[in-house]
Structure 1
Amino acid sequence: MPKIPMCDRCLFYAHNPYLVCAVHLDGVDGDSCLDFREDPNAEPVEVWEPEGASYYNGELILQPEQRRTQQQQLELLDTHPMFTGKCPQCEYEFDRDYTARVHWDCPECGWMDDSV
């Protein structure tokens, strides 16, 4: 019988191996039910997030592994030309065309952006 995850928390759920619920005896078509009513006596659903993951639209998404520590990330904010507009080595001032720029290599001193 087609049963969806929310059936177990529904007021109309039959708790019977032969019936899904009192309204839809054979279960629902699709992945949602218009007649769903939260059962006030149902066990609460535990929303658990492992470290490094978050829920987006009900789906658990693992965050990509960070290559830099938080200290290194903060240092990058203080020194990278994308954020300062200047070369960290010679203080050459870049044009402020942030949306078009992909590489931040310095034409004056040869500093190369290795953060990408």
Structure 2
Amino acid sequence: MPIVNLPQNTPMSCRYISACQSCHFFTSSSYLSCAIHPEGVMGDSCLDWRPIPQNDEDIRFYSPDEQWEPEGASYYNGELILPPRRHLSPLEQEYLLATHPLFTGHCPQCGTAMPMADPPPLHWDCDRCGWKDDSI
């Protein structure tokens, strides 16, 4: 297919082929050639070319469900990659900050002062009431 410049004020960096005019992703903009290839195509053909939908059935065909993705997830090489789950919810994080001896310096069960060291201990256990930190 020959390379053509469609709009009159098209910057030289935008390259069009004759099939662009009949493509679903074509914008007819002098600054954005299409939604898939913003600066135009690089060769004589385009693998992403889709015909302009003519009816509701065509629109459903070109809007497949598999393009939907949960918030924060992405598709890589056709595989849905979910974001890593947070270990604690925001409410659990707030509770931990308000009660854990690492942040308060006191046993959350009996209030006994815990020895602070640098670096802090790996296990927080209260000798007075028997409270044990089971987070690790």
Greater relative contact order structure (CA < 8 Å, 6+ sep): 1
> What TM-score do you get using the length of structure 1 for normalisation?
0.46
> What TM-score do you get using the length of structure 2 for normalisation?
0.40
